[in-house]
Amino acid sequence: MNLLIESVIRYFSLGDRLFWWMLVSLLLWLYSGILNEGPLNVHIWRQADCLSLTQQYYEGAALLEPQMHMQMGDGYSSGRTAGEFPGFYYLMAQVWKVTGKQYWSYRLPMLLMMVLAIWSFYKSIGVLLRRRWLVLSITFILLASPTFLFYGVSFLTDAPAFCLVLIALSSVLQHYRTGKWNWFGLAMSLFLAAGLIKISSLIAFAFLLGIWILERLGIKTLDNRNFYTHTHTHGEHCRAFYL
């Protein structure tokens, strides 16, 4: 056990350890009392809709036939509804089948996804900037958003979609640094998942698609080089973040 702990400590740099200490302290302070609470604050009706969809899947509804308890579909004769792809609610229902119908088992995966997204954002900023204090400051500016913190563990799909986009952008940066196309494939898969659960999250993907189209037309998008055909593994601005 001691050897495992020492290996983990050696793996994470001083900056990484400081990041995790700050992040865990903040999240424990914010969320320790609400993880098992139902819908809170604003948009309670929409959060209740999400829980209704999840419960219908928990009770056996088909993936491609999302339903709510409110009977407003088919001429007020059913709860069938249309919206974003309901895969996220379906996955949460599968979690409920393991843990039982609990609010915490819905919020906890949301929290873990948010932590992974913040870590990806932190490491991406660290690739671009070399000053530890600046990287930490920019990262925690993201956590200064009450909207992000509140919806990060709510029952809506906005926050998971945003988190998937952050992880996807981090994967795009890794593709640019290393030239490995498995990073690019991962990024596109994450963009697809984000777009399926919240179409507005594809703004970043549309921007990257625009860059790709410009480069196919022969327009260089990074001064005198292209983004999708150039790897920069040794350059000063894309060095790995080690503190």
Per-residue model confidence (pLDDT) at position 186 = 95
Please give the Cα distance from 236 to 243 (Å, whole number): 15
Per-residue model confidence (pLDDT) at position 216 = 83
Q: What is the pLDDT along the chain (243 residues), one digit of tens a residue?
A: 555 544 544 545 677 888 899 899 989 998 988 899 999 888 898 899 999 999 999 998 888 888 887 777 666 666 777 778 999 999 999 999 999 999 999 999 999 999 999 999 999 998 888 778 888 889 989 888 888 988 899 999 999 999 999 999 999 999 888 888 899 899 999 999 999 999 999 999 999 999 888 888 888 777 667 777 654 443 444 443 333
- What would the DSSP string read from start to end of 93-116? HHHHHHH-S-SHHHHHHHHHHHHH
Per-residue model confidence (pLDDT) at position 241 = 36
Phi, psi angle pair for 178, to nearest 5°: -105, -20
CB 179 within 8 A of CB 228: no
Nearest to 156 by CA among 168, 147, 144, 166: 147
Per-residue model confidence (pLDDT) at position 230 = 54
Q: Which residues pair with 67 in a beta bridge?
A: 80
Per-residue model confidence (pLDDT) at position 98 = 95
pTM: 0.84
Q: Where are the domains of the chain?
A: 13-30+101-238
Which tokens hold the place of 215?
Answer: 């480069």
